[in-house]
Chains A and B, each alone.
Chain A
Amino acid sequence: EAQVTQNPRYLITVTGKKLTVTCSQNMNHEYMSWYRQDPGLGLRQIYYSMNVEVTDKGDVPEGYKVSRKEKRNFPLILESPSPNQTSLYFCASSFLRDRGLNTGELFFGEGSRLTVL
């Protein structure tokens, strides 16, 4: 089954304790990206990756790091989490180009709800 898998789905942590949210997709997509969602603010892009070893900042990259060493994985790293990073996080992936029957649609994970105390 084609899917984007995020882990953990829920996490409560404390300020300053490094954490990683993993994202894996099994569709051979070139493009992957991370979003955060906060009440009243919609979805905001944190980072994206156009392919392996190619990453770039979105609208709200401060306090986050990413890496893309393999095509299927795109982990989100919070080196020193702070309470303002308490949020619902989504990972998404897609093909870069609209090839043939591929729509270029984004496939989203189920979300990771992070609380930083």
Chain B
Amino acid sequence: DAKTTQPTSMDCAEGRAANLPCNHSTISGNEYVYWYRQIHSQGPQYIIHGLKNNETNEMASLIITEDRKSSTLILPHATLRDTAVYYCIVRGSTLGRLYFGRGTQLTVWP
């Protein structure tokens, strides 16, 4: 099962870009990288996912390295409401067992 490694915590000034790294060196060719975030003790929410190309949506951008062994989630203009725990996971199309780990606690300060 592919697992991920993330820093325990990061902080960012409001209005600046938040760049959250994730290592997934054992990722397989058919596994996608997904990012979720959890605010307080609410259920985690999907942010973005990608296979090998960079992706962007209204919430964030996802940059995946060419060898696919790491990725970076970018929140282009962080706000106080982006303070949350961010989880990076890898998932294949038929993979049932998922590893979330501890995630990264992002704190956005005014």
Contacts and interface: CB of A to CB of B under 8 A. Distances in A.
Interface of A: 4, 31, 33, 35, 37, 40-45, 48-50, 56, 58-59, 88, 90, 92, 96-98, 103-111, 113
Given A104-B32, A104-B49, A106-B36, A90 B43 contact: yes
B93 A108 contact: no
Contacts of A45: 97-100
Interface string B15-42: 0000000000000000010101000011
In the complex, the 7 A-B pairs of residues with the closest C-beta atoms, listed nearest first: A108-B43, A42-B102, A43-B100, A105-B46, A48-B96, A97-B93, A42-B101
Per DSSP, are chain A's interface residues mostly helix, strand or loop, or mixed? Answer: strand
Given A96-B94, A110-B43, A111-B43, A44 B100 contact: yes
20 contacts: A37-B41, A40-B102, A43-B100, A43-B101, A45-B99, A48-B97, A48-B98, A56-B97, A90-B43, A90-B44, A98-B32, A98-B93, A104-B49, A105-B34, A106-B44, A106-B98, A107-B46, A111-B41, A111-B43, A113-B41
Per DSSP, are chain B's interface residues mostly helix, strand or loop, or mixed? Answer: loop
Nearest to B6: A42
* Interface band, chain B: 20 to 34
Contact of B100 (A35, A105, A109): A35
